[in-house]
Amino acid sequence: MRSLSAFSEFLISQSILLPFLVGLVRFRRLGWMYQPFLILLVLGALNEPASYLFIRNIHSNAIPNNLYALAEWILIAWQFHRWGFMRAQRKLFVGLVGCVSLVWVTEDLVLGQIATFPPYFQIFYCFITVLLSVNKINFMITYDDRRLYSNPIFLICIGFIIFFIYRIVYEWAYQTSVRGSTDTALFVIMLFGYVNALTNITFAIALLCIPRRPRFSLLT
Amino acid sequence: MKNRISLVIADDHEIFRDGLALMLAKQESVELVGQAGDGHELIRLVDESKPDMVLTDIKMPRLDGIAAARVLLGRYPGLKIIALSMFEEEDLIVEMLEAGARGYLLKNADKQEIMEAILTVDEGNIFYCKHTTARLASLIVRSRFDAGKKAQGHLFNDREKEIIRLICKQHTAQEIGDLLFLSKRTVEGYRTRILEKMDAKNTAGVVIFALKHSIIKEEEIL
Amino acid sequence: MVTSVLNITLYVSLIIAIIIIYFFVSIIRYHRRYMRLQREKIFAEITIRENERKRIAGDLHDSLGPLLSAVKLNIGSVDTLAPADREVLEKTGRYLDEIIGSLRRISHDLVPGILERRGLLEAIREFIAQVGARGSVNIQLYVVKEIQVPKEKEIHIFRMIQEIIHNTIKHAHAGNLQIGFSEEGGHILCLTKDDGCGFDKEKALSRSSGLGLRSLESRCEILGGILQLDSAPGAGTNYFIKIPVR
């Protein structure tokens, strides 16, 4: 369904490798704060060949995609938790993650749609992720007085916002195109790869901006 | 020969108390019969030794000088109390006077002034420390403190009133002489007579008397 | 089919609208929290400073004061007939008087003991009397209407008046300063007016002497009040302070 025929499209979709490689190179420096994000990058990098294999053999990469979506949600939520979201209410946080995951379980397992591309979990977790990112950015604007633009967390959150808002619009475009396409929908779908690449470059820059871990620091 | 004045002193600052006791011990005319560190101790000592006079600090822990003075004067109305003040807490001094103290001293007064105060108060007069500020003087005048002596304001002729006003404004004898075309000696003579008539010991006493009897107005000296 | 597409479009638009609203709400919330933290920080700083002053004044009164008085007494106890020696002792005594006088002044500037005992207006009157004796400005206090000030606010209002008076004496070259207090609708109003040389508010805030002005504003803010400054070169200076007390 989402075939990657042209070579340039393929290349752009592999843009996930950029931050992945940066993460690899800088691994030792990154540390505990960015662990979930790194795992996310690894999974993202793995998702590409996996999708390719599935398309080759089963003509649909729905299953790895859906699994990846769930993993993406859990890792992102975990990452925000590491960065301080609901640090004090551990149990509540786990409950929240569980609830959203329940939507996935309901959609993909209970309703048996795992081989298709169900929209609700997608839109839902993209929406929550954007809210989390907005929250973090606003927090950093008002409290942190370090330089904002070179703050990796800030850049990553900006990346998330751009990417996941676009994801939501993309989901709209996809659902619309299924029911009878319009030019807008097709345009959005086509643009997706470029937005993805842009976000990945932002992530790579963010990872480059992570400062050397100071020996003794209260700021983790 | 007059009896020695028996004295109890009270102050929460031990160093000062010791110094004061040391100085008083050398004086022939007084006998130190007790030292207290706070109001309660003071009352106890006065009950025990029934002195003629009390020199007490105003600010003391547990029971301050003002409260102690009220208690003591309630029990011994004839007791003469002199207040000691460190940093010139003017409103507290006024309160002590209203409570019945007959005079006050600043703690940096010298030996002479302390003895003068003791002797003056022993004679039954009021003693105002010579370092009294104009503001303190006006506060005293405005307070409920009764200076006791009902001296008449019109005891003084115009020239004397003139000199009194100049004294209140802190002019020296020489300056007064220059202003009024008198010699310094004449001025000093006037001053002595004025002090006698007022029963005052120093300029402070003059100021307070003058304020009380409207010889000079507050605004002129503040 | 079309309605279904419309529905999807509607849902997605709704989601995006919620995101935007959340953005604004969130940032406003954080900003307000930040401002509150700033205010608490300033208040803490001011409180620390006041406590420090109390401590120092207490030390002066309890340690230095009695020692100096005792020294004076001890000097007085030295009996000597040699006139040269006597003169030395006398001079020493005078120096001690001066030291004690300075100590008195410093202690007074640090902590106005009378504030706690007699309240704000009495403290201001005493301060004016003290300052008036030293300075060249004629200061007058008017109480248009009796004011009741809660204890914890008294020291701050007093410091503000202190600052204003200091400024007037130091910078304004004024002949007269009038300070008026009044009460209206649960607020204390204070209006000061001097006939000095005035100043340019913008310039003053940028110079280092603007610190005094800023501390005035800070204190006013933590009391929950407002401060208005009216001044122009050559036209004197007016301060207007309004502080809620109920």
Residue B162's domain spans which residues? 153-221
pLDDT in tens, A3-20: 545 666 666 767 777 887
Pair C85, C191 in one domain: no
Pair C78, C144 in one domain: no
In-domain check, residue B174: yes
What chain A residue is nearest to C19 in terms of C-alpha separation? A131
Chain A residues touching C9 at Cβ < 8 A: 172, 176
Chain B residues touching C116 at Cβ < 8 A: none
pLDDT in tens, B62-84: 888 899 999 999 999 889 999 99
pLDDT in tens, A147-201: 777 888 899 999 999 999 998 988 888 888 877 777 888 888 888 888 888 888 8
User: Average of pLDDT values for B188-200?
Assistant: 85
Which of A129, A130, A142 would you mutate first to test chain C, the one with the most C CBs within 10 A? A142
Angle at the Cα of C31 from the Cα atoms of C26 and C32, rounded to 5 degrees: 100
How many angstroms separate the CA atoms of B131 and C20, rounded?
Answer: 73
Nearest CA-CA distance, residue C89 and chain B, Å? 11
Rounded mean pLDDT for each run of 10 residues along chain C, 246 residues in total: 76 89 91 86 87 89 87 83 88 89 84 84 86 78 85 88 86 85 89 84 68 81 87 85 88
Inter-chain touch C5–A180, beta carbons under 8 Å: yes
Give me the half-sphere count of Cα atoms (radius 13 Å) on the Cβ side of residue B166. 21
User: Is B105 in contact with C72 (CB distance < 8 Å)?
Assistant: no
Nearest CA-CA distance, residue C242 and chain A, Å? 30
Provide the 8-state DSSP code for C64.
I
Pair C180, C223 in one domain: yes
Q: Which residue has the higher pLDDT, B221 or C238?
A: C238
| pLDDT of amino acid C69 | 87
Q: What is the largest CA-CA distance in chain B?
A: 58
Nearest CA-CA distance, residue A127 and chain C, Å? 7
Pair C192, C213 in one domain: yes
In-domain check, residue B139: no
Residue C193's domain spans which residues? 119-244
What chain C residue is nearest to A182 in terms of C-alpha separation? C5
Average confidence score pLDDT of chain B = 85
What chain B residue is nearest to C103 in terms of C-alpha separation? B87
User: Is B137 in contact with B204 (CB distance < 8 Å)?
Assistant: yes
In-domain check, residue C114: no
How many angstroms separate the CA atoms of B183 and B177, rounded?
Answer: 5
| CA dihedral over B51, B57, B60, B65, signed as positive or negative | positive
Pair C100, C144 in one domain: no
| Strands lying side by side in the sheet with B5-10 | B30-36, B5-10, B53-57, B80-85, B103-106
ipTM over 0.85? The verdict is no
How many domains are there within chain C?
A: 2
C135 to chain B, any CB pair closer than 8 A? The answer is no
Query: What global pTM score does this model have?
Result: 0.68
Residue at which a domain ends, from C55, C79, C109: C109
Inter-chain touch A141–C30, beta carbons under 8 Å: yes
CATH number at residue B204: 1.10.10.10
Chain C residues touching A179 at Cβ < 8 A: 1, 4-5
Chain B residues touching C74 at Cβ < 8 A: 19, 22-23
Pair C102, C124 in one domain: no
pLDDT in tens, C159-185: 999 888 888 888 778 888 899 999 888
Pair B117, B45 in one domain: yes
In-domain check, residue C182: yes
Q: Rounded to 10 degrees, what is the CA torsion of C171, C175, C179, C180?
A: -140
Pair B162, B69 in one domain: no
Pair C157, C105 in one domain: no
Which residues sit opposite B34 in a β-bridge? Answer: B8
How many domains are there within chain B?
A: 2
Pair B78, B185 in one domain: no
In-domain check, residue B61: yes
| CA dihedral over A30, A33, A34, A39, signed as positive or negative | positive
